[in-house]
Structure 1
């Protein structure tokens, strides 16, 4: 061991060119797969948004015609409104549920690992299968309808009601996603130094004060990450809507991704469908930047 002078710390050794090259070889297969199957199609989709390409036909450049068509398309604005409403309700509820479950399962007690596994189980459950089950749950005469009737609330099928269909889909989305956010927040909570809470406890801080002034500020980067992931997933919701409502009733659950699907694979207008995808991408980026200015901003 070599003694270092007081006040000096050992600097981490930089990897050599050979080590860096070896690491790159291990990463290269995944990088190529990402470029070919994720990055490449994204670029191709953006390019197709400026064409009139249809399946089996030739792609002709049409400039901004598809985007002008979007602006004049009432279906697009309706789908945008449904998507924004769904996201505005789903993301906060999912984050609150994730945070609550992370706090609940943070402490070690008998059976805590079982509870964590149960809460995370919906994340790895097939959304198609879950959609089939929840279609029965929300149907007229189903468990949810009976429970609402017992409480004196609307007892009909929520999926057949143009006002209640989005809240029903939000409940399914929150159920299927909160376990992932719980895992991220739980991992960050377990990284918080115990000395911070002990100091607050010594100063007489209550449980709520310790959570608000110690735990919550430490969770800010993790909350920002969860918000970005949840927002992206909510903007791209499709599986449950396709299985449970088909965009109905009267297109009250018709989202942008469902419109993209219809235009591309029902009407085979891939140029216009790609323009919808570009609009969705821009919307996601704008919302992500807003979240960056609020949750992700550093002091």
Structure 2
């Protein structure tokens, strides 16, 4: 017995040594890709934060400005206008996208004839170029487009993109159209974890559709809703391509978002330090909203 026990100890020690060696070899193989990821993922972010404290022009001259860019940003009425536009777009687009994604996911989660076809059709806007789609929506929302004719009986005819009041709803429509398919696919995957026996038991107990969703499905989807809320909020704060193609920030800066202002300051006026400061403010705002969503939606694991 003693001999057998003694023989097992060296064998276990050898196994641990081989495991450590294999781990070191695996780490060496992964290290180049990891370093590249760190350099290209976090390097530009750190450089952007640092740039917000400097003045930099295309000639390569750099001068220290400290908090001047942030003080200028706080005193800039255009910044607050852009922040208000971004917040209004986010408050409108994110809940609509989440609700529409949930409805579509519940509608196509079961296997039926044509389910894959409908899933593909609903997901198609996600992989469609927003530059191409935005050009088409410019015509749709024009005074002679089909949307104007459809809304005319409600007194909302005319060009929505030329109205300071209706331009944000028009961009929200395009933004939700381009995003709801992604949330739908994520929710369809999450719905597979809902025990079908619980749904059938609730149905036999007389629970209606809303009660089954609220007490059986929603608790399972809570972590997924938190994930989608963060992703959709981040995407809404970063809205740019739709605005660039459809409105160029107009009319009268009614659709002038924070990211479009960042683009304007950096690539039109070449004020890179101020543009970087706007980017830092956008990051902080996104982080704060994500933390609030974590407290409100993600209380349970």
Question: What is the TM-score with the length of structure 1 in the denominator?
Answer: 0.91
Cα separation, partners in 2 of 1:188 and 1:280, compared to 1, 3 Å: same
* Aligned position for 2:83: 80
* Aligned position for 1:103: 106
* Aligned position for 2:283: 281
* Aligned position for 2:207: 205
* Aligned position for 1:185: 187
Distance 1:119 1:62 in 2: 49
Shift of 1:18: 4.6
* Aligned position for 2:133: 130
Cα separation, partners in 2 of 1:294 and 1:261, compared to 1, 3 Å: same
Counterparts of 1:147-158 in structure 2, within 5 Å, are 147-149=150-152, 151-158=153-160
* Aligned position for 1:3: none
Distance 1:196 1:180 in 2: 27
Tell me if 1:232 matches 2:234: yes
| Aligned residue pair count | 285
> Contact (CA 8 Å) 2:223, 2:300: kept in 1 or not?
no
Shift of 1:206: 2.1
> Contact (CA 8 Å) 2:222, 2:300: kept in 1 or not?
no
What SS is found at the alignment partner of 1:52? Answer: strand
- Identify unmatched segments of 5+ residues in structure 1: 1-13
Question: What is the TM-score with the length of structure 2 in the denominator?
Answer: 0.90
Structure with greater helix share of residues:
2
Q: Indicate the larger mover: 289-298 or 198-207.
A: 198-207
> Contact (CA 8 Å) 1:192, 1:218: kept in 2 or not?
yes
Tell me if 1:89 matches 2:95: no
Distance 2:228 2:263 in 1: 27
Counterparts of 1:1-299 in structure 2, within 5 Å, are 16-21=19-24, 24=27, 27-28=30-31, 30-149=33-152, 151-298=153-300
Show CA shifts across 1:112-169 (max 9, x none): 00000000010001111111010111011101111112x3331100000000000000
Distance 2:109 2:29 in 1: 36
What SS is found at the alignment partner of 1:158? Answer: coil
Shift of 1:24: 4.2
Distance 1:257 1:238 in 2: 6
Cα separation, partners in 2 of 1:18 and 1:221, compared to 1, 3 Å: farther
Shift of 1:229: 0.3
